[in-house]
Structure 1
Amino acid sequence: MSTEHGIYIIECKDGSLYTGYTNHLANRLRMHELGKGAKYTRGRGPFKLRYYQAFETKEAAMQMEYKIKKMPREKKEKIIQEQKIGE
């Protein structure tokens, strides 16, 4: 059984964006909704999935998560709009 590694961007009800890593997207989103996801997202639901990208390795996904988290909101919005990560 192979595991898919991915990164996602969700929009919180306050309009803020949260970027995270997961190996099971549906379960991770459910955890956010239950208030058991990241500390940042507690009390900020409901959430809207705005972006998801799968990677072959956990390392690649986590490197991209780190890169996106450092980006300004404008760059994150561009990724969401284009549904891909540009160079």
Structure 2
Amino acid sequence: MPGATRLGGAAHPSAPDAEGADLAMYDGAEPGEVLTAHPHDAEAAPAAYEQAMFPRSAAAAADGAELHDLLFGGAAPHGLIAMSTGHG
């Protein structure tokens, strides 16, 4: 939706690996920091937040996709076992 910035899990749904919860907590603090840095600029604060969020979210999404493949992909559960035991 134009003119809206999503926060927390709405901004980056993730695989069930606790990363979504970690990012949601981070997203709770980050808007306060950018709003403090840009108190009179309603456009700069969300832009600064989004600039930091997009790469962080992309990395979390890639990790989530890898976890999903380990848990449910064609090599499951062997890939997860190999990763967990250091043999992967």
Superposition TM-score, scaled by structure 1 size: 0.27
TM-score by length of 2: 0.26
* Structure that is richer in helix per residue: 2
Select the structure that is richer in strand: 1
Q: Indicate the structure whose relative CO is greater, using CA pairs within 8 Å and at least 6 residues apart.
A: 1
Q: Which structure: larger Rg? A: 2
